[in-house]
A and B are shown apart, each in its own frame.
Chain A
Amino acid sequence: DAGVTQSPTHLIKTRGQQVTLRCSPKSGHDTVSWYQQALGQGPQFIFQYYEEEERQRGNFPDRFSGHQFPNYSSELNVNALLLGDSALYLCASSGLDRMNTEAFFGQGTRLTVV
């Protein structure tokens, strides 16, 4: 059973560019959340997608946007990249009993903005 998979694993972008990160949830899961983990920090919630809609959003600017597809996979888009956007971006998926189950995380995408 494949867990949560993210691509790419590493990415280097230039300030001002745009980036798209991808996530496939664990089999049987329909909810995807995205987190940003800066160096030396705990993960910070960006937003969550369920039924192809953004259901909850953390304290991140509109430069951060996302999408969920009918197969439950998801994309995270970041526009006008800043140096401060350099971080590990984690995708987490959860199942139908969303409140009582734990979230499963992917290995993350390491984004470096230069």
Chain B
Amino acid sequence: AQSVAQPEDQVNVAEGNPLTVKCTYSVSGNPYLFWYVQYPNRGLQFLLKYITGDNLVKGSYGFEAEFNKSQTSFHLKKPSALVSDSALYFCAVRDMNTGFQKLVFGTGTRLLVSP
């Protein structure tokens, strides 16, 4: 069965500093990995995905993520945080070998960027 772990409920960072939001996953086959962001009372907004290829994936709004197969991790990063990045971030995985499109999400990490 697929699963995703986001070990931090909240990450606090000062504006201008780099940020990392952690994600580890478990799938029986090869993973498709995604990051989504959710602002208050809104749906999920796609940030980036890893399907295959380069382990460093670049996405929207200056975010990037590094796929590490040996550590089964897909951490979200940004070199310089903005106050407007404050939101709830979800990591999700899909098992590409099953042929199913079901996304399994982590419990989310709240990012708080202080001015």
**Which positions in A face B, CB cutoff 8 Å?**
4, 6, 31, 33, 35, 40-45, 48, 56, 58, 90, 92, 94, 98-100, 102-108, 110
Interface size class of B (residues with CB under 8 A): 20 to 34
Question: Interface with A: B14-22, B44-52, B65-73, which one?
Answer: B44-52
> In whole angstroms, what is the CA distance A104 to B36 when docked?
10
A100, B45: Cβ atoms closer than 8 Å: no
In this assembly, does B61 line the interface, its C-beta being within 8 Å of a C-beta of chain A? no
- Known: A43-B90, A100-B51. Contact between A94 and B46, CB under 8 A? no
B49, A102: Cβ atoms closer than 8 Å: yes
- Known: A56-B101, A58-B102, A98-B101. Contact between A41 and B43, CB under 8 A? no
Partner of B42, one of A40, A94, A107: A107
Q: In the complex, which residue of chain B has the Cβ closest to the Cβ of A48?
A: B101
Q: Separation in Å of the B113 CB from the closest CB of chain A?
A: 21
Q: In the complex, which residue of chain A has the Cβ closest to the Cβ of B110?
A: A40
> In whole angstroms, what is the CA distance A99 to B107 when docked?
23
Q: Which residues of B contact A90 (CB under 8 A)?
A: 43-44
Q: Which residues of B contact A33 (CB under 8 A)?
A: 101-103
Q: Which residues of B contact A56 (CB under 8 A)?
A: 100-102
